[in-house]
Amino acid sequence: MTLDPIHVENIARLAYGIAGDVDTTDHEDLAGRVWNDWLTGLRRDGRVVVEPVADHERRRTAIDDVALAERPFGTVHGLDSGTINPTTFKNGLVVDVAHAAMAAEPTDLDLHRDRTIVATVHAGDSTADFDGAWTRRDDGHTRQRVLHAPRVNRYAEGVVHALALYLAEGTHALDHADRVEELLVLDGPIYPKELFTWGDRDPELGELAREAKPQAVVEKYIRLVERFVERDVPLAGFVKNPSSRTVVRTLSRKGFESPWPDDTALFTRLLERREGDIGSGGDGSGSGGNVGRGGNDGGRGTDARLDDDLTFTTWFHSRGGADGTMAADADALGIDRELEPELYEPTFMVLYDPRTDVTYKLEAPYAFTRDAETRDRLTRQVLADVATTRGPPAAVGKADALARIDATEKAALRRKFEERFDSDQQATYDDHRWGKDRY
């Protein structure tokens, strides 16, 4: 049963009351203060968690010009991993399957055929053992294995998902690292950050993260950084939906009342341009041109959003939240690092596309972004790619398409597991309520 028109109107009227209590001018002033006074060196518990790598600027570039500009990297590889999502069966098993692929731009069909597949299993029966060795199929183009997840009392679905996803992705990246000659861009962060947050969610999960199997997954990413540093080939991660709250949480702890739910909302406020902003014109050519802002340096205005320029920040160190695990003064979950610890630290820049009103983040280890020329090349590459695709870089989009498991395939795979286990999936009321087709 749908809402009657009167109900729709009554709900819409609630917006008037909400809007009347929100003063966006205050938000604009706060954004400028955060940028100028806090993001030059944001401290938490005596540690600098966010600070500029070099320059501290907001910049813009004309979309049409940067889309036609010569790319700094002639060949770009992308890598992604997709899963069927955690599935619980009536026999007590919880399973997820991840499928990783690497893509190239320009296309490399032989590379695209290679896949890494991991099935992770959690069992309530402590006597069960499902661990298997790596095997090859499809004339050697597919490498696959079963991983028996460490037993947990809670969060079994999250554990099997993270271990499957990151083991497949990290393994595939390492196995094919030597195929990358100029640049590798992961679809998502450069480290398995979901696993890094386990300690914040539950003490049991925090202890689990330091056990052998999760450590082995994280170690693959550490070795990946080392391999690419050794080969002098940059490694980056394109984050399509950044969700960090390091800045806003740190500000909150300092008594600074932040109106933004996460860091992405803050950076969007800082990078969005409106017709009423002072200095909204300017050259904006190449990767230069500062973002024009009103007198409060955070002005949003009430006029239409300008969509002729991409806007972006310079690079930052990130040592808070999930990124803190790989900070130089942290122990990387007890994993040995062969390079200087600071070289593994995540750094990032933020990019805003006004055509889609979407904010992205590009990450890279400090081992690469400490070099000014490499920072500039990474920045110009991602600007050109986003300007052209209105979304992720083409290599990342290809990897996503190769690794994605669609709904029909997920249902078919789950049915195969049911047949093999001789056990049905554990259904929920929502499956029935919303008409989810399990097959």
Following DSSP, what letter does each residue of 47-83 receive, concatenated? Answer: EEEEEESS---EEEEEHHHHHHSPPS-SSEEEEEEEE
Query: Is residue 307 within 8 Å of residue 62, measured between CB atoms?
Result: no
Per-residue pLDDT band at 330 (split at 50, 70, 90):
very high
Percentage of the chain beyond pLDDT 90 is 74
CA distances, 199 to each of 189, 206, 209, 249 (Å): 18, 4, 8, 17
- In this predicted structure, the answer to whether residue 118 has a pLDDT above a threshold of 70 is yes
For the cut 70, the answer to whether the pLDDT of residue 24 exceeds it is no
What is the distance between the alpha carbons of residues 314 and 51, in angstroms, rounded to a whole number? 11
Helix ranges, 145-282 (H):
156-175, 193-196, 198-201, 203-208, 212-231, 246-253, 263-271
Taking residues 308-324, what's their average pLDDT?
97
Count the neighbouring beta carbons within 10 Å of the beta carbon of residue 62. 19
pLDDT at 434: 62
Mean pLDDT of 350-364: 98
Do 65 and 71 meet the contact criterion of CB atoms below 8 Å apart? no
Stretch among 79-83, 156-160, 194-198, 418-422 having the lowest mean pLDDT = 418-422
How crowded is the C-beta side of 312, counted as CA atoms within 13 Å? 33
pLDDT in tens, 406-432: 999 999 999 999 998 888 888 777 666
**Residue 79 pLDDT greater than 70, yes or no:** yes
C-alpha distances out from residue 165 to 77, 233, 331, 376, 432, Å: 19, 24, 23, 31, 28
**Count of beta carbons in the 10 Å neighbourhood of residue 227:** 16
pLDDT at 4: 83
The whole-chain average pLDDT of the chain stands at: 89
Rg of the chain over Cα atoms, rounded to whole angstroms, equals 23
If you average pLDDT over residues 196-211, what whole number do you get?
92
pLDDT at 426: 86
Q: What angle do CA 204, 210, 211 make, to 5 degrees?
A: 90
Answer whether residue 296 shows pLDDT above 70: no
